[in-house]
């Protein structure tokens, strides 16, 4: 009979531990998914900003050599990510393709001017920085004008700011929920061991001695849950990029690894602290209070 009771207790404890690890893994998975969403949202924001073009139209008569020299000068500017020289001939060819007919033959000459397309770094793709950059560029005697879609930039920055606030608020809320769920899961697991904790205390074991194995298991469960969550996150990334190949442009493994490390640390930290306080609670209770 004693062997049966020990076996039943061991199976019960094992099932509690397994359910704890699975619960931790699911909560950390949701937290990690939100982290990946934040990273992709930021990278998408940067991608959109860095593809907003400023057209620097050069004056008539400026030689190609001077334009190319000025392009190199612009590329050394801290605001500039990259640039592209558009000659009069290339501009005419692009416009002809858009119109579907050769307007140069119709007009008898090419009225277009050479230009430089400027793509700014994401940090400078805002109205204030662009206006500062345009003032600096417009001071050059070779530049006729600078053209860009101001309304598009304002709309992009406004929408990105709004989406960022919503995602950050949701992240904070989910983090609080994650901590609460993991804490409750571990408290329930420790609750099933409350009589063992009190028995060890009654035979003279110190609080530190009693806490040690529970803390070890708690940290191990947090780490196992985190590893399962990370594997599922990697699978999600793989499936997402297979279904949406464009996501490869937003891929940043350094940021992804940072999220995986944070997920692992959250699992270990929350599990460890929750276990510490849960065991402490039953160490403080009297024997008759364990039946409540």
Does the pLDDT value for residue 103 go beyond 70?
A: no
On average, the pLDDT of the chain sits at: 82
Is the pLDDT at 8 greater than 60? The verdict is no
What are the φ/ψ torsions at residue 54 (nearest 5 degrees)? -110, 125
- Answer yes or no: is pLDDT of 10 > 60: no
Cα–Cα distances (Å) from 48 to 77, 86, 150, 198, in that order, read 20, 21, 14, 60
Which pLDDT score, from 0 to 100, does residue 264 have?
A: 92
Percent of residues, the chain, with pLDDT higher than 90:
16
Q: What is the per-residue pLDDT for 69? A: 92
Which is it for strands 143-147 and 53-58: parallel, antiparallel or unpaired?
Answer: antiparallel
Lowest mean pLDDT among 158-162, 245-249, 285-289: 285-289
| Average pLDDT estimate for 156-162 | 78
Query: Taking every pair of C-alpha atoms in the chain, what is the biggest distance, in angstroms?
Result: 105
HEC string for the chain: CHHHHHHHHHHHHHHHHHHHHHHHHHHHHHHHHHHHHHHHHHHHHHHHHCCCEEEEEECCCCCHHHHHHHHHHHHCCCCEEEEEEECHHHHHHHHHHHHCCCHHHHHCCCCCCCEEEEEECHHHCCHHHHHHHHHHHHCCCCEEEEECCHHHHHHHHHHHHHHHHHHHHHHHHHHHHHHHHHHHHHHHHHHCCHHHHHHHHHCCCCHHHHHHHHHHHHHHHHHHHHHHHHHHHHHHHHHHHHHCHHHHHHCCHHHHHHHHHHHHHHHHHHHHHHHHHHHHHHHHCCHHHHHC
User: Which of 33-47, 146-160, 205-219 bottoms out in mean pLDDT, i.e. has the lowest?
Assistant: 146-160
- Region 123-129: mean pLDDT is 87
Lowest mean pLDDT among 11-15, 262-266, 267-271: 11-15
Return the pLDDT at 2.
Answer: 38
Q: Per-residue confidence at 12, pLDDT binned at 50, 70, 90? A: low
Q: 5-19, 24-38, 80-94, 243-257: which has the minimum mean pLDDT?
A: 5-19
Average pLDDT of the segment spanning 38-43? 82
* Per-residue pLDDT at 292 exceeds 90: no
Mean pLDDT for 42-63 is 86
Residue 74: other Cβ atoms inside 10 A: 19
């Amino acid at each position: 009979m004693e062997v049966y009771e020990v076996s039943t207790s061991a199976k019960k404890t094992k099932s509690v531990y397994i359910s704890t690890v699975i619960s931790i893994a699911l909560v950390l998975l949701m937290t990690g998914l939100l982290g990946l969403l934040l990273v992709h949202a930021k990278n998408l924001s940067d991608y959109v900003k860095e593809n907003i073009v400023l057209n620097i139209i050069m004056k008539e008569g400026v030689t190609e050599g001077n334009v190319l020299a000025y392009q190199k000068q612009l590329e050394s500017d801290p605001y500039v990510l990259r640039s592209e020289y558009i000659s009069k001939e290339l501009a005419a060819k692009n416009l002809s393709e858009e119109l579907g007919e050769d307007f140069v033959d119709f007009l008898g000459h090419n009225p277009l001017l050479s230009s430089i397309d400027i793509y700014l770094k994401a940090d400078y793709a805002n109205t204030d920085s662009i206006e500062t950059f345009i003032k600096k560029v417009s001071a050059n005697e070779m530049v006729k004008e600078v053209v860009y879609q101001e309304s598009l930039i304002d709309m992009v920055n406004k929408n990105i700011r709004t989406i960022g606030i919503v995602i950050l608020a949701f992240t904070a809320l989910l983090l609080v929920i994650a901590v609460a769920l993991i804490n409750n899961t571990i408290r329930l697991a420790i609750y099933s061991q409350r009589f063992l904790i009190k028995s060890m205390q009654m035979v003279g074991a110190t609080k530190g001695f009693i806490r040690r194995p529970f803390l070890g298991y708690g940290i191990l469960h947090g780490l196992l849950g985190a590893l399962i969550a990370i594997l599922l996150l990697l699978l999600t990334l793989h499936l997402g990029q297979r279904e949406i190949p464009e996501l490869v442009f937003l891929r940043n493994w350094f940021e992804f690894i940072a999220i995986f490390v944070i997920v692992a640390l959250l699992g270990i930290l929350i599990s460890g602290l929750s276990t510490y306080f849960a065991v402490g609670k039953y160490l403080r209770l009297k024997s008759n209070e364990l039946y409540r």
